[in-house]
Amino acid sequence: MTVEMEVSNTHPSRLLPGLKETPHWMCWYYSMDDEGDLRKKPYPHEGSDIYKPGIARYNSEQSWLSYSEARDIQKSTNHPLGIGFVITEKDDYIALDIDDCMYDGNSKLTHETKTIIESFSSYTEISPSKTGVHIIVKGQAPTQGWTNEPVSLCLEIFNKYFITVSQLHMAETPIEAKSRQDNIDEIFKKYNIEWSKPRFTSSW
């Protein structure tokens, strides 16, 4: 498999079977934080468990929806919303987020990023910001967190978190999350993944 920066023509309805059948979906929206940076916040629906005014508690089952319910809210709301999925430790899904991994006007992937995508050979999408990629796989991770080294790679791995799902499916990658335990084990051996002192913030 050789990947390039190209969105596939696969209809969204065919993407991520299995994940879409799991009712852990939510909507999200952009909100400015106190430092003037845009952050993605879980959008509350009528029955959501509220974390703060205007923000749903993502780790509460009360806030979760089916995929179709999340899409209906996304389509019916007057302001822009994205959709996302809540990964829990009871699931066998793992999400890899590689930030700032493009160059040449965000038209090309770095060599290291291409190597990771090709080795995992699982569902991969371009992030909502269009400056990174998300890889969703099946397997178990010993922890979740960030890579602080090497500084050339901004990699985050999550096994119990809210992740945005753009459905900007990258051409030449599978349409579903594949079981990739060996790849997960290998990437934890290769990179130091830790939850403390992140040098960048999540793009999910």
Q: Are residues 81 and 98 in the same domain?
A: no
Which pLDDT score is estimated for 86?
A: 97
Which pLDDT score is estimated for 202?
A: 40
Tell me the average pLDDT of the chain.
90
Which pLDDT score is estimated for 36?
A: 81
- For tokens 């990947």, name the residue: 3
Q: What percent of the chain has pLDDT over 90?
A: 71
Residues spanned by the domain of 109: 89-160+168-194
Domain tally for the chain?
2
pTM: 0.90
Which pLDDT score is estimated for 149?
A: 64
Residue 195 has pLDDT above 80, yes or no: no
pLDDT (average), residues 112-122:
95
How big is the chain by its Cα radius of gyration, in Å? Answer: 16
DSSP letters of 72-116?
HHHHH-SS--EEEEE--TTS-EEEEEEES-EETTTTEE-HHHHHH
Q: Are residues 179 and 97 in the same domain?
A: yes
Per residue in 19-62, pLDDT (tens digit) is 999 999 999 999 988 888 888 999 999 999 999 999 999 999 99
> Of 86, 109, 136, which residue is a domain's last?
86
Q: Are residues 94 and 81 in the same domain?
A: no
User: Who has greater pLDDT, 4 or 8?
Assistant: 8
Q: Positive or negative CA dihedral for 129, 177, 146, 82?
A: positive
